[in-house]
Copies of this chain bind each other. A is one copy, B any other.
Amino acid sequence: MSDPVVRPKSAGKTSRRSTQSVTLAEVAELAGVSAQTVSRALRTPEQVSEQTLVTVQKAVQSTGYVPNMTARNLASNRSMTVGALVPNLVGTIFTDVLSGLDETLSPNGYHLFVGTTGYDPEPEEEMIRAFLGRRPDGMVLTGTSHTRLARQMLSKANIPIIETLTLSGKPIDSLVGFSNSQAIRVLTESRITKGFKHPTFAGWLRDVDERANERLRGFQEAVTTKLPGEPLRFVNTEDLGISIEAGRYLAREVLMRHPETDLLVCSSDVFAEGAILEFVSRGIDVPGRIGVTGLGDFDLAKHLSPSLTTVLTPNKDVGRAAAEILLKAMASRRKTPGRVVRDLGFDIISRESA
Contact B111 A106, beta carbon cutoff 8 Å: no
Bound-state CA distance A17–B148 (Å) is 26
A333 within 8 A of B: yes
Q: Does A274 contact B (CB under 8 A)?
A: yes
Which residue in B2, B98, B132 is a CB contact (below 8 Å) of A114?
Answer: B98
Contact status A1-B15, CB under 8 Å: no
Bound together, the chains give a CA A159 to CA B75 distance in angstroms of 24
Q: Is the CB of A21 within 8 A of B68?
A: no
Segment at the interface with B among A150-158, A179-187, A195-203: A150-158
* B77 near A19: Cβ-Cβ < 8 Å: yes
A99 to chain B, nearest CB (A): 5
CB distance from A11 to the nearest CB of B (A): 7
Q: Mark A45-79, 1 if CB is under 8 A from B, else 0.
A: 00000000000000001011111111100110111
Residues of B within 8 A of A8 (CB): 156
A281 on interface, CB distance cutoff 8 Å: yes
- With A89-B99, A102-B114 in contact, do A274 and B248 touch (Cβ < 8 Å)? no
A133–B245 alpha-carbon span in the complex (Å): 44
A90 neighbours in B (Cβ, 8 Å) = 92, 95-96, 99
Instruction: Indicate if the CB atoms of A158 and B21 lie closer than 8 Å.
Output: yes
Decide yes or no whether A112 CB sits under 8 A from chain B: yes
User: Does A206 have its Cβ within 8 Å of any Cβ on chain B?
Assistant: no
**With the chains together, A244 CA to B297 CA distance in Å?**
13
CB distance from A348 to the nearest CB of B (A): 21
Contacts of A34 in B (CB 8 A): none
CB-CB < 8 A to A115: which residues of B?
102, 106, 111-112
Given contacts A89-B102, A102-B116, contact A152 B1 (CB under 8 A): no
Name the B residues within 8 Å of A341 (CB-CB): none
* A135 contacts the other chain (CB 8 A): yes
Tell me which residues from 91 to 146 in chain A have a Cβ below 8 Å from any Cβ of chain B. Answer: 92, 95-96, 98-99, 102-103, 106, 109, 111-116, 127, 129-137
Chain B residues contacting A130 (CB-CB under 8 Å) are: 69, 109, 111
* Residue among A4, A67, A79, A116 with max Cβ neighbours from chain B (10 Å): A4
CB nearest to A123 among chain B residues: B106
Alpha-carbon separation in the docked complex, A17 to B280 (Å) = 61
Among A210-218, A226-234, A286-294, A299-307, the stretch in contact with B: A299-307
A240 CB, min distance to chain B CBs, angstroms? 12
A284 at the B interface (CB under 8 A): no
Q: Is A224 in contact with chain B by the CB < 8 A criterion?
A: no
Question: From residue 10 to 28 of chain A, which have CB atoms closer than 8 A to chain B?
Answer: 11, 14-22
- Assess the A148–B98 pair: CB atoms within 8 A: no
Contacts of A245 in B (CB 8 A): 299, 303
Most-contacted residue by chain B among A112, A127, A133 (CB, 10 A)? A133
A residues with a Cβ closer than 8 A to B are: 1-2, 4-5, 7-8, 11, 14-22, 61, 63-71, 74-75, 77-79, 81, 88-90, 92, 95-96, 98-99, 102-103, 106, 109, 111-116, 127, 129-137, 148-149, 151-153, 155-159, 170-173, 243-245, 248, 270, 273-274, 277, 280-281, 299-300, 303, 305, 333-335
Given A7-B155, A274-B303, 5 more A-B residue pairs with CB atoms under 8 Å apart are: A19-B79, A88-B99, A90-B96, A112-B113, A270-B299
